[in-house]
Amino acid sequence: METLRLIIIEDEEAHFSLMKRAIANNLPNVSIYHFSEAGACLEKLDEIMPDIIISDYLMPGMNGIEFLEALNRSNKQIPVIMTTGQGDEDIAVKAMKLGAWDYLVKSADFFTLLPSVIEKVVREFKLKESLRKSERRFQDLAERTSDWIWEMDAQGMYTYSNPVVQRILGYRPDEVIGRRFYDFFFEKEKDALRHNAFQIIAKRRPFSAFENFLIHRDGHEVIVETSGVPFFDKAGNLLGYRGIDRDISARKRAEERVRSLSQQLMRTQEIERQRLSCDLHDHLAQELSALKISLDTLFDDRQEASIETRQVVSDLSKMAHRIIMNVREMAYGLRPVGLNHLGLVQTIAQYCEDFSAKNRTKVDFFSAGIDESKLDIDTKIMLYRLIQEGLNNIKKHACAGSAVIRLIRSFPDIILRIEDNGKGFDVKKQLADTFDEKKMGLRIMEERVGFLNGKIKIESRVMQGTKVLIEIPCMEVTQ
């Protein structure tokens, strides 16, 4: 036991000596201070700063009950053991109500029991102080954090709320306690959200980063990110959840603005691609075609040209032809004209066939359930671009002999899967390298998926190929 400062208030010198001996024999690390009356003890409390006080009930000037009352008025948090030669239950009840930690009658076994009672009271007091300090720390943090900290029972009723709820939802903590979590959901979504929430609660497991849409007191929408952990009784029965709600409304608005700007940028890029594609195909390619025809017919009415001259012109014609092919390929890459004439699936199939022929990588493409009449143009273009970017990544980095592309309509989403049998890579390491070219390709795909409010998952292992799984909500054209 640590060294204790113990005060004994006892007016009988002989009884004090016996108490001191019993304590010293069993608790050697105790400093004992003796007072024969309570008033003198009160005057010395700040000087001694005792860890525990043993006070007799019957004393001259001030009895034990009056001493407890005076101690309470001074706001001293010191545990007191009351002793008396009379086994009076009324005195014991009064003493305990006033904060006494134990009550001992001066019986035959008094001196035997006293050291163990002191140890018990000190241990319990330290535990209580530790809990009080923990609660104080929690209270300080809870009142100064920017997050709403709450506790609710197993039925979803709030039993605690820190003051931050007033800043987030406009309600005082006392107005939240006693209400259920789903009381703050929008009415049209309340039943579904309540059902989903209780399914989570029934699993009795922690949850994190759930996005919820709550109603502020004034009626506007508040978006919070909710995390919680369950707590149980000793028998393992669920008592409720404790958790945190973080107001992410400003962040979500900022993300939406960024997403909107990104979408506008991508649409602008596609418009510019279309313009450049038309310029290349309808103007430059046509001019080059006219040049080639002129070269091919240059000597139709002339016989005087030498063989060498004719050969030069023929070579120029072939060069013009190659330039025309390259220009048309650039035009088709900028804006796949087949989307309007052949449709999405046929255009992708043709692209995969051309890719296989040019890059010695066999591409197995399969599509099912795609009703193109119900897809908006943004979805069509982005799906085409995702496949284009995916195959481009395979060409540049995978060294793959084959690739598999699956485009499936699985209500309510469109699922796109791109796989290859190439050399693969460490996904975490690759994404951590900001300036890596391969990462840029993946980031472009992520941005395109984000444009369509979809999800992308990348799996890859070194020498075991790469799998890209994309799920996109089907944005159907409204008639």
Structural domain spans, the chain: 4-141, 145-247, 264-335, 338-479
DSSP H/E element including 367:
strand 362-368
Q: How much is the average pLDDT of 13-29?
A: 89
Look at the chain and count its residues.
479
Confidence of residue 271 (pLDDT cuts 50, 70, 90): confident
221-232: strand order across its sheet: 158-161, 148-153, 238-247, 221-232, 207-215
User: Can you give the pLDDT at residue 337?
Assistant: 65
Q: How is residue 245 written in tokens? A: 């709600």
Place of tokens 């992708």: 348
CA distances from 235 to 228, 239, 268, 428 (A): 21, 11, 63, 43
What pLDDT was estimated at residue 173?
A: 94
The lowest-confidence range among 146-160, 212-226, 427-441 is 427-441
pLDDT greater than 90 at residue 170: yes
Place 309 in a pLDDT band, splitting at 50, 70 and 90.
confident
Query: In terms of pLDDT, which residue wins out, 223 or 377?
Result: 223
Tokens of 201: 């609660």
Contact of 292 with 306, CB cutoff 8 Å: no
Instruction: Give the pLDDT band (50/70/90) at residue 248.
Output: very high
Which residues fall within 8 angstroms of residue 355, CB to CB, at 6 or more apart? 361, 363, 391, 395
Banded model confidence at residue 289, pLDDT cuts 50, 70, 90: confident
The DSSP line for 429-468 is: HHHH-TT-HHHHHHHHHHHHHHHTT-EEEEEE-TTS-EEE
Partners of 185 in the β-ladder: 214
Find the radius of gyration of the CA atoms of the chain: 41
Please check whether residue 56 is in contact with residue 16, taking contact to mean a CB–CB distance below 8 angstroms: no
Rounded Cα distance between 426 and 466, Å, is 10
Condensed to tens digits (0 to 9), the pLDDT of residues 99-114 reads 899 888 888 888 889 9
pLDDT band at 349 (very low <50, low <70, confident <90, very high): very high
Domain 4-141: give its CATH code. 3.40.50.2300
For residue 179, the 8-state DSSP code is S
Lowest model confidence (mean pLDDT) among 2-6, 80-84, 461-465: 2-6
pLDDT value of residue 436: 56
Q: Which residue has the tokens 């990544």?
A: 393
* 145-247 fold: Beta-Lactamase (3.30.450)
Domain 338-479 is in which class? alpha beta
For residue 341, how many C-alpha atoms fall within 13 Å in the half-sphere facing its CB? 6
Task: At 200, list the tokens.
Answer: 């989570």
Q: What amino acid is encoded at 37 in this protein? A: E
Q: Which two tokens stand for residue 115?
A: 């050291």
Q: What is the mean pLDDT of residues 78-87?
A: 85
Question: How many of the other CB atoms lie within 10 Å of CB of 46?
Answer: 9
pLDDT digits (tens, 9 = 90+) for 369-428: 887 767 887 888 889 889 989 998 999 888 899 999 999 998 888 999 999 999 988 877
Average pLDDT, the chain: 86
